[in-house]
Amino acid sequence: MRRARRGLSGRGKKSAGGSLMSFALDESAAAPFFRQIYLQLREAILLGRLTPGKRLPSTRTLARELGVARNTVINAFDQLRAEGYLEGHIGSGTIVARDLPDDRPCIRVDAETGLAIAAGRRPRIVFSRFGQAALDGPRDLNPHPAAPFEVDLPATDVFPFETWRRLIAQRLRAGMRDMLAIADPAGHPPLRKTIADYVSAARGVSCSPDQVIITAGSQHAVDLAVRALLGPGDPAWVEDPGERGVRANLAACGARLVAVPVDREGVDVAAGIRLCRNARLVYVTPSNQYPLGGTMSMSRRLALLDWARETGAWILEDDCDSEFRYASRPLAALKGLDGNGNVIYIGTFSRSLLRPLRLGYIIAPPSLTEVLIATRGIIDRHPPPLEQAVVAEFMLRGHFATHIRRMRKLYADRQRMLVAAADAQLAGLLDVRAHGAGMHVIGWLPAGVDDVAVSRAAAKRGVIVRPLSAHYVAAAKRSGLLLGYTSVTPGQMRDGVRVLASVLREAVGAAPRASQPADDRFAEGAPLG
Give the CATH number of the domain where residue 437 resides. Answer: 3.90.1150.10
Taking CA atoms, 67 is separated from 60, 320, 408, 423, 500, in Å, by 10, 68, 72, 75, 63
Q: Indicate whether 132 belongs to any domain.
A: no
pLDDT value at 11 more than 50: no
Which residues lie across from 282 on neighbouring strands?
237, 315
321 plus 244 within the same structural domain:
yes
Q: pLDDT over 70 for what percent of the chain?
A: 84
412 plus 388 within the same structural domain:
no
Global confidence as pTM: 0.79
Q: Indicate whether 147 belongs to any domain.
A: no
pLDDT 10s digits, 347-379: 999 999 998 898 999 999 999 999 999 998 888
Q: How far out from the chain centre does Cα 34 lie?
A: 42
pLDDT 10s digits, 21-74: 567 888 888 889 999 999 889 888 888 888 888 889 888 888 888 889 999 999
Q: Indicate whether 433 belongs to any domain.
A: yes
387 plus 497 within the same structural domain:
no
436 plus 335 within the same structural domain:
no
The whole-angstrom separation of Cα 151 and Cα 145 is: 9
What are the residue ranges of helices labelled H in 103-147?
A: 129-136
92 plus 189 within the same structural domain:
no
Q: What is the mean pLDDT of residues 97-112?
A: 64
The residues, ordered by sequence, that sit 6+ positions from 444 with a Cβ below 8 Å of its Cβ are 430, 431, 432, 478, 479, 480, 522, 523, 525
Q: Indicate whether 528 belongs to any domain.
A: no
34 plus 85 within the same structural domain:
yes
The whole-angstrom separation of Cα 527 and Cα 529 is: 7
Give the CATH number of the domain where residue 49 resides. Answer: 1.10.10.10
pLDDT 10s digits, 226-243: 999 999 999 999 999 999
366 plus 410 within the same structural domain:
no
384 plus 438 within the same structural domain:
no
Give the CATH number of the domain where residue 288 resides. Answer: 3.40.640.10
149: preceding bond cis by omega (within 30 degrees) = yes
406 plus 369 within the same structural domain:
no
Q: Indicate whether 521 belongs to any domain.
A: no
Residue 449 structural domain:
402-510
Query: Residue 525 — very low, low, confident or very high, per pLDDT cuts 50/70/90?
Result: very low
Q: Which of 311, 248, 309, 322 is nearest to 276 (CA)?
A: 311
**Domain end point (choices 397, 431, 457):** 397
Q: Indicate whether 88 belongs to any domain.
A: yes
pLDDT value at 293 more than 60: yes
386 plus 259 within the same structural domain:
yes
429 plus 363 within the same structural domain:
no
Using H for helix, E for strand and C for coil, what is the string for 460-494?
HCCCCCEEHHHHCCCCCCCCEEEEECCCCCHHHHH
pLDDT value at 519 more than 60: no
Q: Indicate whether 498 belongs to any domain.
A: yes
Q: Which amino acid is at 424?
A: A
Determine how many CB atoms are found less than 10 A away from the CB of residue 3: 9
183 plus 112 within the same structural domain:
no
**Domain end point (choices 118, 137, 167):** 118
Residue 129 near residue 252 (C-beta atoms within 8 A): yes
**Domain end point (choices 64, 86, 118):** 118
Q: Indicate whether 506 belongs to any domain.
A: yes
Which residues lie across from 215 on neighbouring strands?
360
Q: What is the mean pLDDT of residues 182-195?
A: 90
Residue 75 near residue 39 (C-beta atoms within 8 A): no
Q: Which of 28, 16, 119, 23 is nearest to 76 (CA)?
A: 23
The whole-angstrom separation of Cα 77 and Cα 58 is: 10
The number of domains in the chain is 3
Q: Which of 47-56, 102-111, 132-141, 486-495 has the lowest mean pLDDT?
A: 102-111
